[in-house]
Amino acid sequence: MNDNPEPISRKSFLTILSLCISAIASGIWFVQFRNFISGKIIGPDRELGHRIRGNVEANLTSNLNVLSSEKVKVLILGSGISGLSAGYYLDKSGFQDFRILELESDSGGNSRSDKNAVGSYPWGAHYLPQPGEEAVLVRKFLEENKVITGKDKHGKPIYDERYLCFDPEERIFYQGRWNEGLYPGGHPGSAAFNEEQKFKKLAQFWRTKIGKDGKKAFTIPIDLSSRDPEILRLDKINFFEYIKEQGFSTKELLWYLDYSVRDDFGGSIDTVSAWVGLHYFCSRPTDANGEDLTLLTWPEGNGFLVNKLRTPISSKIQTGTLVEKVAASDSKESRFSVQVYSAETKEQKTIHCDSIVYALPSFTRKYILGEKSGVAEGLTYSPWLVANLTVDRVPTGKGIPPCWDNVIYQSQSLGYIVSTHQDLRAGRQESVLTYYQAFGNQDTVSTRKRMTRTSWSDWKESILSDLKKPHPDIEKRVKQIDIMLYAHAMIRPVPGMIWGGKRDRLALSYPNLHFAHSDLSGISIFEEALVRGHAAANKILGEQKL
């Protein structure tokens, strides 16, 4: 080895310098020093889930080599909120001979959560509005689990303040800076501002509207809403048609309404019904000024509620189990034979049972139940993307400081929430940002195909490109991006779905087989799923007494 190398010549130095300049100009230098971001695409298990479709198409389900069998009184198929709810209320009644089967490695469905070194974060639903007086079951559940701690002198619920979203709650990136709230209203007197005020008056009209049957126009649970034909006609047209009829036209208001229905229903303003669009704004309680009440939220989002449902019945939940087929049993000792496949052992077995709660999405019925009535045909389910970005500190930007919910005007995404927003520890910088995108376009089939073809790297670039609009330095802040793709995230309430008779037919039980998924309500929210599971549990308990 030469310990005394000769000095570099002027010619060599200039050559190296020229190469460096060329590298910088071509972007090579940037690539070499670009912040490294790790991550992956995780669940749901698409290949395993598609076995049921492949089995039916190949006519294999009747000729499978089933290795073993066992018996349980009641099987609950699916462990989303509705399935967990059914188990929760069976357990509360003292009935214990049941089991819950779940395809994924964890229960909770669209309300699942996770945690890393920074803290907990959601993989889907992330808040619960304060329930109104009609939502008796939801309020009682919150009381049982100490979220509601008492009542004030007017009889209204008192909530544990730790679970009420801390201020500041919401902001929107509009006209180059962060503004308070989610409406891009502009200054008083502007067309956008005036239309916002006009829409608030319209919402207040419908919020207080009583139908000819004496019921409120819009409530939660949805089935307590008025059946007045004047109101139900809103379910026959899409939300955009209705809004145009009312004379609204500013791009700000149309964007805001579109954002709102994508956020709750996964559909766009022109793919969901006018009835459900108004339901979003008019079904929940407000304060004396007509403003929304403070939301309930937790770092893990609705994973908090999942844990409250799951904890008493955790020993009853069997994950990594695909339900392949339900058929009448050959045995006199049971009514049903349920054929299942283990993701871990790659083996099949049969579970015999007397009753079933079907808490799986309704579109799976034709594969698992062999349902030929067509009642579940023609349903639309919205695809979603949820990404969790671990950052070294919460990004700020021009305007008001970071909020719990941060939305970008005219973005195709729904923005992001800050998982550590409820964390009071001083000096906290690291966080997880949960980023949402609902694909609200009409062609959901093409969207699903595109989702499966898109790599993690391409999703990463798309997400960062969106977030760079308000946060040019976001790439420096991010350490990891994990992505969850939901091909059939939630039922979409297209025109005719809510009051066209479809839901009534979907909810009809077979002998000892009861349906409980939230798609029976036409909208995918915690309140509806809890009610559906509770109703199915009561039907099961009624059968046990016969």
pLDDT tens-digit series, residues 318-363? 999 999 999 999 888 899 999 999 989 999 999 999 999 999 999 9
- Asked if residue 390 is part of any domain, the answer here is no
* Average pLDDT of span 440-462: 93
pLDDT at residue number 68: 67
pLDDT tier at 428, thresholds 50, 70, 90:
confident
Contact 480, 37 (CB under 8 A): yes
- Asked if residue 306 is part of any domain, the answer here is yes
- Asked if residue 144 is part of any domain, the answer here is no
pLDDT at residue number 1: 44
Contact 357, 537 (CB under 8 A): yes
**What length does the chain have?**
546
pLDDT at residue number 82: 98
pLDDT at residue number 13: 52
Angle (CA) 68-74-52 rounded to 5° is 55
- C-alpha 320/C-alpha 343 separation (Å) is 5
Q: Is the predicted pLDDT of residue 546 greater than 60, yes or no?
A: no
Contact 409, 185 (CB under 8 A): no
Rg, C-alpha atoms of the chain = 26
Q: 216 versus 425: which is more confidently predicted?
A: 216
Q: Is the predicted pLDDT of residue 17 greater than 60, yes or no?
A: no
- C-alpha 241/C-alpha 269 separation (Å) is 9
CATH number at residue 538: 3.50.50.60
Number of domains in the chain: 1
CB neighbour burial string for 186-218, b if at least 16 within 10 angstroms, e if fewer: beeeeebbebbeebeebbeebbebebeeebbbb
- Asked if residue 174 is part of any domain, the answer here is no
Contact 90, 541 (CB under 8 A): yes
* Average pLDDT of span 241-246: 98
For the ranges 106-110, 183-187, 262-266, 466-470, which has the lowest average pLDDT?
Answer: 183-187
Q: Is the predicted pLDDT of residue 16 greater than 60, yes or no?
A: no
- C-alpha 40/C-alpha 49 separation (Å) is 20
- Asked if residue 271 is part of any domain, the answer here is no
For the ranges 44-58, 157-171, 210-224, which has the lowest average pLDDT?
Answer: 44-58
- At 172, list the tokens: 């929107």
- Asked if residue 102 is part of any domain, the answer here is yes
pLDDT at residue number 442: 86
- Asked if residue 319 is part of any domain, the answer here is yes
pLDDT over 90, % of the chain: 81
Q: Which region holds residue 59: left if phi is over 0, alpha if psi is between -120 and 50, else beta?
A: left
Q: Is the predicted pLDDT of residue 202 greater than 60, yes or no?
A: yes
pLDDT tier at 373, thresholds 50, 70, 90:
confident
* Average pLDDT of span 99-119: 96
Q: Is the predicted pLDDT of residue 64 greater than 90, yes or no?
A: no
Q: 66 versus 495: which is more confidently predicted?
A: 495
Domain residue limits at 319:
47-112+301-377+496-545
Please write the tens of the pLDDT for every residue from 488-532: 999 999 999 999 999 999 999 999 999 999 999 999 999 999 999
Statement: the pTM of the whole predicted model exceeds 0.75? yes
What's the chain's average pLDDT? 91
**Is the C-alpha dihedral spanning 484, 528, 87, 543 positive or negative?**
negative
β-pairing, 405-408 with 177-180? unpaired
- Asked if residue 359 is part of any domain, the answer here is yes
